[in-house]
Amino acid sequence: MNISGSTALVTGANRGIGRHFAQQLLERGASNVYATARDPESIDLPGVEPLRLDVTDPASIAAAAAIASDVTLLVNNAGASTYQNLVTGDLDKIRLEMDTNFYGTLAMVRAFAPALAAGGGGAIVNVLSRLSWLSYPGATAYAASKAAAWSLTNGIRLELAEQGTLVTGLLLSATDTDMMAGWDIPKNDPADVVRQALDGIEAGALEVLADADTAEAKASLSEDPSVGYGELLAGAS
């Protein structure tokens, strides 16, 4: 995937990682960047084309796909985190996370896959999470939605291979964005995360692991759950 000369669309581009994606795509020579948000007036980045989009609204997605029919690079960044547990959490908030992180991503892929095919294949980046591979008290619903989005990413990669579309999963741990503002812990620089993702796209990477904690989480998948969850389970008993 050659970013220079591409036409990109970034969901949730008004802040955080999405804004960094839009900015760095411009810096790398993208010919046009559709920067989307539910409120396009909240997009303040010069040089992009603001576009209204709510990934949980099928009509909004269809309208955006009709306008941005020349997209060759789709960045599915928009996400929701409501800090709910699965057993006791608010079901409406749990559904919002799944509607945004899984169904919203799927709807975007289905809407824009024909445009990518028409443009020669192009690429899709799905912004996932270290919590795609582990769960944590207070965010078990978010982890479930991101695990589903990781599986979705693997599935659409197979389905879109015939049309030549690269599908890259970006997985990261805590990153310095509004979503993590209340957490006093070490955090990734979002600009560095995006830089790694775009380098990965240009190299044809299927996954980009943005930090050591995320790489460790993937490596631990082959271990017995008692290794990764032992301390948490002991603390709860």
Name the pLDDT band for 11 (thresholds 50, 70, 90). very high
CATH of the domain at 159: 3.40.50.720
Beta bridge partners of 32: 7
| Euclidean distance between CA atoms 102 and 43, whole angstroms | 24
Q: Is 142 a catalytic residue?
A: yes
Q: Is 146 a catalytic residue?
A: yes
* Residue 65 in domain: yes
The residue that leads in pLDDT, 127 or 175, is 127
Residue 15 CA: distances (Å) to CA of 31, 44, 65, 75: 21, 9, 21, 14
Of 34, 146, 187, 218, which is the active-site residue?
146
DSSP 27: H
Evaluate the CA torsion angle 71, 74, 76, 78 in order and state its sign: negative
* Residue 145 in domain: yes
pTM of the model: 0.93
- Retrieve residue 75's tokens: 């960045």
* Residue 199 in domain: yes
pLDDT at 228: 81
* Residue 203 in domain: yes
Q: Is the pLDDT of residue 146 over 60?
A: yes
* Residue 2 in domain: no
Q: Is the pLDDT of residue 180 over 60?
A: no
* Residue 142 in domain: yes
The residue that leads in pLDDT, 161 or 232, is 161
- Alpha carbon 82 to its chain centroid, in Å, reads 16
* Residue 1 in domain: no
Count of beta carbons in the 10 Å neighbourhood of residue 117: 15
- Which domain range does residue 142 map to? 7-236
Phi and psi at residue 202, in whole multiples of 5°?
-65, -25
| Euclidean distance between CA atoms 77 and 91, whole angstroms | 23
pLDDT at 178: 62
| Euclidean distance between CA atoms 45 and 207, whole angstroms | 28
Token pair 């006093």 is at which residue? 184
DSSP readout, 184-223? -S--B-HHHHHHHHHHHHHHT-SEEE-SHHHHHHHHGGGS
Of 83, 93, 136, 142, which is the active-site residue?
142
* Residue 200 in domain: yes
| Euclidean distance between CA atoms 128 and 118, whole angstroms | 26
Q: Domain tally for the chain?
A: 1
Q: What percent of the chain has pLDDT over 90?
A: 85
Name the pLDDT band for 28 (thresholds 50, 70, 90). very high
Name the pLDDT band for 230 (thresholds 50, 70, 90). confident
Average pLDDT over residues 201-211: 97
pLDDT digits (tens, 9 = 90+) for 38-92: 999 999 999 999 999 999 999 999 999 999 999 999 999 999 999 999 999 999 9
In this structure, of 45-59, 131-145, 220-234, the range with the lowest mean pLDDT score is 220-234
